[in-house]
Amino acid sequence: GADGVTVVARFNVALPPLQLALRRADAPAADPVDVSVATPGEAWVSAGPGEYLLEVRAPVGGSGAYRLLVDAGPACADDPYDRPWRNDVEANARAVGDGIIHGTLCPRDEDWFRVPGPGRIEVSIQGALATVNGQPAPATVDAPARIRVTGEGDYTLTVRTRLDGAAACAAATPLALDQPTAAQIAAGPEAFAPACRGAGSPDRVFQVQVPRAGRLAVSLLDPDPTAGLMLYGDCAAVPLACTPLAGDRLEHAVEAGTYFVVVDGPYAGRIQASLSADGPPAVCAAPEPLVAGQPAQAPVDGAGAALGGVCLDPAAPVGAFGFVLDEPSQVELRLTGGGPMSAVSLRAVCADPATEFQCEAGFEPLVVARLLPGAYVALAQGGGQLNLTATPDAAPVAFEDMCFPGGARPTFAAGDQRQVAGDTSGAADGFNAAACGAAVGGADQVLQFDVVAPVRLRATARSDAFAPVLSLTADDCFGAPVCGAGPGLDTVLQPGDYGLVVDADGAGRGAYVVDLAFEAP
């Protein structure tokens, strides 16, 4: 054929493998152009343009029926999931479980996988497209499930099992008070992480029996910057307390009863719970609900409380107000009508100043912060009315022709994955590609975004119109660039604002697609 040829023979996997050989039609006695490698159930050969003779040979004891598939064009490198049968049809879908699959798609090829189940799974992909039971990935579906992957080239498919909170707590590991306990969490299902932290990390649940009222403290004895803690009284409700970012200690006032501690991994160390008789200040025992649009009254009378923090007065009366976010949001806490010594503190745990995000004092203090989903506490002093405004982070995930310092930006966290399309046809050359070793002159665009916790970014750009070059800038695009390897970028980000730049190696311009994956660092 003018485009070359690939021949695949399929046969019973229980029989010794067949051997295929391609010989040039004009020189049948010469050495074969290609000879198959012995593989159970399948053999294939491939060659470039030309006219060929196909030789099929069976070893002793290997006779039997076989089927030949002939395709135009030479074969590309396959992957382990194509053995012993190619998984290019649904009937040959390869069974997989929780984990990461690195595969390769040849031209005009597709790969099929099946997740036997039962359970609820999250499926995402980089470098190709996928559908899960007919839904485009990323998707969350109930297993059993069929996954179809299409495209061309290398790809990474991620399958994660999700449990519901009640099921995870029903299988919780007992955690005795004052006894260090191993908490090895390398991989596995995720049931709770999105409540306080980014999705995409395995977690493990421990059950603690509290014999009396007091202050429950849970510690990771071998601190790990990627791990965090959550405390639940009811596994189907919001958490009582959590470390929204990485944190090795959590404290909360509790009554006698059963509680569940969630360690959001990965983590390889020990965990310990302890109960102290002296609970936190009474103001933290039951924070008053704070609802957006419904002002709450800050106290002007009462005793002070030693709650620590940057700006609270330990001698002044203080009120505690709790609220829950269901999605990433920009939060504003404004205290109006109070005195000149007013103050507002925003934190994750009422009595723990280490979890304070921001504290402002003075006349009509205002606290502004971008927060992930989870439970939070506002502490207010000085009288007046405390107002909460929570605006879901609806900033578009899109590439623009230039940076807009201080503009609205999406916020990403570990577990987020996006595929973003753009077009540089009408864009200018605003960034210097030469700083990353590329030829100058290409049009470019930038995606501005924020991260509020350490995260690893993996980005890949592809285009039929130009050779993409990725780079990353910080500080609203004024920072020095971090250069990728051509169309790929893999780097760890600290909390801050960033700009991901798609540039061209040379004067090219046109449509492109960028795959983004944010992972635990």
Would you say residue 402 lies in a domain? no
Clarify whether residues 54 and 105 are in a common domain.
Answer: no
Clarify whether residues 152 and 173 are in a common domain.
Answer: no
Mean of the pLDDT values across residues 211-221?
A: 85
Q: How far apart are CA 160 and CA 121, in angstroms?
A: 5
How many structural domains are present in the chain?
Answer: 5
311, 346 Cβ separation under 8 angstroms: no
Identify the domain boundary among 33, 56, 75.
75
- The reported pLDDT for the residue numbered 212 is 86
**Domain of 101: which CATH number?**
2.60.120
Copy the structure tokens of residue 360.
Answer: 């402002």
Would you say residue 150 lies in a domain? yes
Mean of the pLDDT values across residues 83-102?
A: 80
pTM of the model: 0.35
57-61, 164-168, 187-191, 296-300: which has the highest mean pLDDT?
296-300
- The reported pLDDT for the residue numbered 476 is 62
Q: In three state form, how does the secondary structure of 233-268 look?
A: CCCCCCCCEECCCCCCEEEEEECCEEEEEEEECCEE
Copy the structure tokens of residue 374.
Answer: 């989870």
Identify the domain boundary among 347, 364, 392.
392
Between 65 and 459, name the one with better pLDDT.
459
**Domain of 381: which CATH number?**
2.60.120.380
State pLDDT tens for residues 441-465: 678 899 888 888 889 999 988 888 8
Clarify whether residues 212 and 314 are in a common domain.
Answer: no
Q: How far apart are CA 379 and CA 320, in angstroms?
A: 5
Range scoring the smallest mean pLDDT among 271-280, 322-331, 336-345, 346-355: 271-280
Would you say residue 88 lies in a domain? yes
Would you say residue 399 lies in a domain? no
Q: How far apart are CA 189 and CA 512, in angstroms?
A: 34
Q: In three state form, how does the secondary structure of 427-448 look?
A: CCCCCCHHHHCCCCCCCCEEEE
Clarify whether residues 67 and 96 are in a common domain.
Answer: no
The amino acid that residue 360 corresponds to is E
State pLDDT tens for residues 339-384: 888 999 999 888 888 788 889 998 899 998 877 777 899 999 988 8
pLDDT-derived band at 116 (thresholds 50, 70, 90) equals confident
Clarify whether residues 442 and 470 are in a common domain.
Answer: yes
Q: What is the DSSP letter of 485?
A: B
Indicate if the pLDDT at residue 394 is higher than 80.
no
Q: How far apart are CA 139 and CA 150, in angstroms?
A: 16
Indicate if the pLDDT at residue 33 is higher than 90.
no
Number of H helices, E strands in the chain: 1, 40
Identify the domain boundary among 75, 93, 117.
75
Clarify whether residues 48 and 94 are in a common domain.
Answer: no
- The reported pLDDT for the residue numbered 402 is 78
Clarify whether residues 260 and 323 are in a common domain.
Answer: no
Clarify whether residues 180 and 265 are in a common domain.
Answer: yes
- The reported pLDDT for the residue numbered 163 is 59
Q: How far apart are CA 451 and CA 414, in angstroms?
A: 9
Indicate if the pLDDT at residue 415 is higher than 90.
no
Clarify whether residues 355 and 442 are in a common domain.
Answer: no
The domain containing residue 507 runs over which residues?
411-519
3 state DSSP class of 282: helix
Clarify whether residues 239 and 255 are in a common domain.
Answer: yes
Indicate if the pLDDT at residue 35 is higher than 70.
yes
Mean of the pLDDT values across residues 488-499?
A: 88
Q: What is the DSSP letter of 416?
A: -
Which position has the token pair 């750009």?
461
Task: Name which of 455, 450, 456, 504 is nearest 474 in CA terms.
Answer: 450
**Domain of 226: which CATH number?**
2.60.120.1300
Clarify whether residues 263 and 174 are in a common domain.
Answer: yes
Would you say residue 406 lies in a domain? no
Would you say residue 403 lies in a domain? no
Q: How far apart are CA 42 and CA 239, in angstroms?
A: 53
Indicate if the pLDDT at residue 277 is higher than 90.
no
Clarify whether residues 145 and 245 are in a common domain.
Answer: no
Between 195 and 11, name the one with better pLDDT.
11
Q: How far apart are CA 131 and CA 113, in angstroms?
A: 10
Q: What is the average pLDDT value for the chain, to the nearest integer?
A: 81
pLDDT-derived band at 149 (thresholds 50, 70, 90) equals very high
Percent of the chain with pLDDT over 90: 15
Query: Edge-to-edge, what's the strand order for the sheet holding 214-220?
Result: 181-185, 267-276, 214-220, 249-254
473, 498 Cβ separation under 8 angstroms: yes
Would you say residue 490 lies in a domain? yes
Task: Name which of 354, 358, 359, 387 is nearest 370 in CA terms.
Answer: 358
**Residues β-bridged to residue 47:** 5
1, 49 Cβ separation under 8 angstroms: yes
Task: Name which of 511, 518, 517, 418 is nearest 468 in CA terms.
Answer: 511
- Angle ∠(172,276,310) on CA atoms, nearest 5: 100
- Angle ∠(292,294,300) on CA atoms, nearest 5: 115
Would you say residue 432 lies in a domain? yes
